[in-house]
C-alpha cells in the first residue's frame, strides 16, 4: 500500500500560497536542491533586510529554511520515487564539495505570479551549479519530467509574500537592500556558502546525497 501523504488545498492554512498543480493520490511533489545551513549572523542580516523591505511591502515573511534549487517542483508517481532516487545518487556520486558566493539581492516571482520572493543571487560558483543541474536534468528526462530553467538565476530565497509585488520591491527598495548587504560586517565571509550535499524532497520523504 502507498503511504499516506498529508494533503490540504486550503490556502489559508499555508499563508495564502496556491498549489502549482492539484494534488492527486499517488502523485508526490518532488524538488531537488542544495540545503543551506546559516550562521547566527546571517539571521541578523536577514532581519535587517526584511525590516527594510517591509516598509515597501508589509506582508513580507522571512523564510525559516534556506536552500538553492537545482530543479523545478515536479510530480512523481509513488512507484517512481525509488528508481528516481537511485538514478540521482548515481549521477551525483562524482561531484565534490564546492563554494558559492551569494551576495546580489534580487526580486523574483513564481511562474504564475502568485508569489514574490527576495533572494540572494549567486555571483561566484555558477559553473559548478550548472554542472549539477545538467546531471539532475538528465534524471528528470529519464522520467519524462520538466527540466530546470534555461539560463537559471541561482539564488537563496530570503523572504516571500503573496501576489506579484515585484513593482514595489524593485528600484529604490532593491538598491537599499543591496546597500545593507554591502555594508554588513563580514558579509564577504558570511555569504560564501559551502555546499556539501544535495537533497531531494518527495512528498514527506527526504533523501540526501553527500558530495565528496
Catalytic center residues: 67, 155
Q: Is 165 exposed, middle or buried (0-12, 13-18, 19+ CB in 10 A)?
A: buried
Q: Report the C-alpha dihedral over residues 59, 106, 29, 206, rounded to 10 degrees.
A: -100
CA distance 71 to 189: 27
Work out the number of other CB atoms within 10 angstroms of the CB of residue 211: 18
Which of these, 9, 47, 14, lies nearest to 25 by C-alpha position?
9
What is the Cβ-side half-sphere exposure of residue 86, based on CA atoms within 13 angstroms? 7
Whether 80 and 143 have beta carbons less than 8 Å apart is answered as yes
Q: How many residues are given for the chain? A: 212
Among 68, 57, 11, which residue's Cα sits nearest to residue 35? 68
List, in sequence order, every beta strand (DSSP E) within 44-136.
61-62, 66-69, 74-77, 98-109, 115-124
Amino acid at each position: 500500500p502507498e503511504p499516506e501523504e498529508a494533503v490540504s488545498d486550503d490556502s489559508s492554512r499555508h499563508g495564502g500560497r496556491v498549489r502549482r498543480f492539484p494534488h492527486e493520490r499517488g502523485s508526490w511533489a518532488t524538488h531537488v536542491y542544495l540545503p543551506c545551513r546559516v550562521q547566527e549572523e546571517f539571521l541578523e542580516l536577514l532581519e535587517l533586510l526584511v525590516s527594510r523591505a517591509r516598509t515597501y511591502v508589509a506582508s513580507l515573511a522571512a523564510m525559516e529554511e534556506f536552500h538553492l534549487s537545482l530543479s523545478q517542483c515536479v510530480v512523481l508517481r509513488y512507484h517512481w520515487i525509488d528508481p528516481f532516487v537511485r538514478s540521482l545518487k548515481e549521477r551525483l556520486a562524482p561531484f565534490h564539495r564546492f563554494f558559492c558566493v551569494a551576495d546580489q539581492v534580487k526580486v523574483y516571482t513564481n511562474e504564475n505570479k502568485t508569489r514574490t520572493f527576495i533572494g540572494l543571487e549567486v555571483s561566484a560558483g555558477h559553473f559548478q551549479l550548472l554542472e549539477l543541474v545538467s546531471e539532475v536534468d538528465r534524471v528528470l528526462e529519464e522520467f519524462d519530467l520538466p527540466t530546470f530553467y534555461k539560463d537559471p538565476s541561482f539564488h537563496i530565497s530570503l523572504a516571500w509574500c503573496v501576489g506579484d509585488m515585484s513593482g514595489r520591491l524593485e528600484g529604490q527598495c532593491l538598491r537599499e537592500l543591496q546597500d545593507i548587504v554591502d555594508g554588513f560586517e563580514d558579509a564577504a565571509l558570511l555569504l560564501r556558502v559551502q555546499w556539501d550535499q544535495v537533497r531531494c524532497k518527495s512528498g514527506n520523504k527526504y533523501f540526501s546525497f553527500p558530495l565528496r
